[in-house]
């Protein structure tokens, strides 16, 4: 049977839209999308705490969660926190349209995924679109992400659909055919090879438009590190300009609308401090697809306490990378390398940047392990792109590092990215509170526990406090004597330095 509304009732159907005046509330609430409604309006309109409301303005719309307050907003007003004003172009005191939000259409697909079923392209695309449009909230996204932690739930085609959707639903670039990139799966402290590789490769005329992430679970991401001496946030058009000038850029991917779904999903996995490996692969490949990369070297560091700790897992990740590389037609080489401790001496944004500059400037106290790894990876790219003959890449990479052409390219990039091109490695400031740990007897460093180093750096305030971190006065395979400082903890906050000192008491296996 059928029934329906009568004509005059149909005309009233828009009655559940209502208008209130927006007020700026001086609270910074992180990623929460909150709207404050006055109790009187809430009662009048039937709004309850926790209700999702949709705010529309100038063809844009976002969904927000309702808090009720009679103090902070008056009748006829609604309040938004500073974060929302930072993020969106909303003018204070304007009268804006609100309505009750409807449940996101992709909830059904999320439930299907939770039940253990494989999603088709349309379902995956719908979910990713709703994530980007902020129609799914944090808990709903968590439900979507959770099954990926179980390997049994990973379907290669579904991962491909996801990569494609994430790449499609954001900005895309086209720098032509001779476009290379390098990626490290990360999780190994230090290991800041990117800012060494990019200038080497670009100095040979290869286009290498590098986008990097901020830290997820580590003491610093490449973007956090670079930011100590140059700007990393640029618009798509500015990046096209920088790449045109230098054959390269080194920017934060998050400032672009490059794979925006990925940035939102990362906020969720961050919570557990662990990322499912399929999500990591999606994250990497979606950005490469969006950037129009055609030649790719992927570095998978394997180390105890690092993100990937065994060769078996590394091989599975490699398999998934290669599957996607074939699907997207990207020439790809995966390098798996075992480590027994961090690479380089500095861990934390400023300390890592100092290491990088010491290598590029060929200073005497530069970390050679970092230099050698960067040269090796740069060499592979030079071979893949035909700049160097097979087996001659490392040699070629070394040339432009030694003769200063790579450093010159670096200063050009710094200059284009609004940094000081005359910056010297020793200009980079580290935290003013420090504490040196002293050896109680003579010995040799066999290995360094990466997980402990990461934990301490987090307590010290890295990566948010740029100068916080650890400097390894003694690295793996180095000898020390009783009384030598083994490593130095730096922090910009005295409270955090004390917190790290307390934690040290309970860690008795950092150096092995």
Residues 147-186 that bind its own copies (CB under 8 A): 147, 149-153
Classify residue 101 as exposed, middle or buried by CB count within 10 Å of its CB (0-12, 13-18, 19+): middle
Among 146, 168, 178, 405, binds its own copies (CB under 8 A): 146
Instruction: Name the minimum Å distance from CB 249 to its own copies.
Output: 28
Candidates 146-154, 201-209, 280-288, 305-313 — which segment interacts with its own copies by CB under 8 A? 146-154
Of residues 35-94, which lie at the interface with its own copies (CB under 8 A)?
36, 44-46, 48-50, 65, 67-72
Instruction: Name the minimum Å distance from CB 439 to its own copies.
Output: 7
Query: Rounded distance, CA 404 to CA 296, Å?
Result: 25
Query: Rounded distance, CA 364 to CA 376, Å?
Result: 20
438 counts as binding its own copies under rule CB under 8 A: yes
Query: Rounded distance, CA 313 to CA 121, Å?
Result: 27
Among 56, 58, 94, 271, binds its own copies (CB under 8 A): 271
Closest CB to its own copies among residues 329, 508: 508
Of residues 292-351, which lie at the interface with its own copies (CB under 8 A)?
none
Of residues 198-227, which lie at the interface with its own copies (CB under 8 A)?
none
Distances (CA, A) of 144 to 42, 261, 274: 32, 13, 16
499 and 493 in contact (C-beta within 8 Å)? no
Closest CB to its own copies among residues 205, 273: 273
Closest CB to its own copies among residues 254, 419: 254
Candidates 110-118, 120-128, 168-176, 353-361 — which segment interacts with its own copies by CB under 8 A? 110-118
Among 90, 118, 335, 439, binds its own copies (CB under 8 A): 439
Classify residue 10 as exposed, middle or buried by CB count within 10 Å of its CB (0-12, 13-18, 19+): exposed
For the chain, first and last CA: distance in Å? 77
Of residues 461-500, which lie at the interface with its own copies (CB under 8 A)?
461, 464-465, 486, 491-496, 498-499
Which ranges in 39-106 belong to alpha helices (H)? 39-45, 82-87
Of residues 242-261, which lie at the interface with its own copies (CB under 8 A)?
none
Query: Rounded distance, CA 258 to CA 294, Å?
Result: 17
* Cβ-count burial 264-275 (b if 16+ within 10 Å, e if not): bbbebbeeeeeb
Looking only at Cα atoms, what is the longest distance across the chain? Answer: 91
- DSSP-based three-state secondary structure for 388: coil
Task: Using CB under 8 A, count the residues that bind its own copies.
Answer: 84
Closest CB to its own copies among residues 115, 312: 115
Q: Is the peptide bond before 463 cis (omega within 30 degrees of 0)?
A: yes
Closest CB to its own copies among residues 70, 157: 70
Instruction: Name the minimum Å distance from CB 107 to its own copies.
Output: 7
Instruction: Name the minimum Å distance from CB 264 to its own copies.
Output: 13
């Amino acid at each position: 049977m059928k029934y329906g509304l009568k004509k005059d009732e149909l005309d009233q159907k828009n009655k559940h839209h209502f208008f209130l005046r927006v007020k700026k509330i001086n609270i910074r609430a992180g990623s929460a999308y909150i709207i404050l409604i006055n109790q009187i309006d809430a009662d009048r309109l039937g709004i309850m705490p926790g209700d999702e409301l949709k705010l529309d303005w100038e063809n844009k719309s976002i969904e927000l969660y309702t808090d009720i307050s009679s103090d902070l907003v008056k009748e006829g007003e609604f309040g938004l926190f500073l974060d929302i004003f930072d993020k969106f172009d909303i003018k204070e005191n304007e009268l804006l349209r609100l309505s009750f939000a409807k449940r996101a259409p992709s909830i059904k697909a999320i439930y299907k995924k939770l039940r253990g079923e494989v999603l088709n392209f349309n379902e995956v695309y719908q979910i990713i679109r709703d994530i980007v449009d902020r129609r799914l909230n944090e808990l709903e996204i968590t439900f979507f992400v959770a099954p990926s932690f179980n390997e049994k739930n990973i379907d290669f085609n579904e991962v491909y659909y996801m990569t494609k959707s994430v790449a499609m639903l954001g900005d895309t670039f086209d720098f032509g055919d001779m476009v290379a990139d390098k990626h490290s799966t990360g999780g190994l402290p230090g290991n800041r090879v990117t800012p060494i590789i990019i200038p080497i490769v670009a100095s040979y005329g290869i286009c290498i438009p590098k986008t990097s992430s901020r830290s997820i679970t580590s003491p610093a991401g490449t973007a956090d590190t670079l930011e100590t001496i140059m700007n990393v946030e640029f618009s798509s058009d500015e990046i096209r300009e920088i790449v045109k000038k230098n054959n390269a850029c080194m920017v934060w991917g998050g400032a672009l609308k490059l794979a925006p779904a990925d940035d939102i999903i990362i906020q969720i996995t961050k919570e557990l401090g662990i990322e499912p490996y399929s999500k990591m692969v999606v994250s990497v490949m979606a950005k490469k697809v969006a950037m129009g990369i055609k030649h790719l070297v992927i570095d998978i560091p394997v180390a105890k306490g690092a993100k990937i700790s065994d060769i078996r897992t590394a091989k599975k990740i490699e398999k998934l990378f290669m599957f996607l590389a074939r699907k997207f037609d990207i020439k790809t080489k995966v390098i798996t390398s075992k480590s027994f401790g961090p690479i380089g001496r500095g861990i934390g944004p400023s300390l890592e940047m100092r290491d990088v500059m010491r290598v590029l400037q060929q200073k005497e106290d530069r970390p050679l392990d970092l230099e050698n790894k960067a040269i090796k990876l740069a060499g592979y790219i030079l071979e893949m792109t035909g700049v160097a003959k097979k087996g001659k890449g490392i040699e070629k990479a070394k040339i432009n590092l030694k003769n200063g052409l790579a450093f010159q390219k670096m200063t050009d990039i710094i200059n284009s990215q609004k940094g000081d091109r005359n910056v010297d490695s020793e200009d980079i400031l580290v935290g003013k509170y420090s504490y040196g740990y002293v050896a109680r007897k003579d010995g040799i460093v066999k290995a360094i526990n990466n997980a402990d180093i990461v934990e301490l750096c987090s307590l010290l305030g890295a990566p948010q406090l740029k100068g916080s971190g650890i400097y390894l006065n003694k690295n793996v395979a180095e000898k020390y004597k009783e009384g030598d400082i083994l490593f130095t903890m730096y922090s910009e906050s005295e409270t955090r330095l004390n917190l790290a000192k307390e934690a040290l008491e309970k860690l008795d296996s950092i150096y092995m």
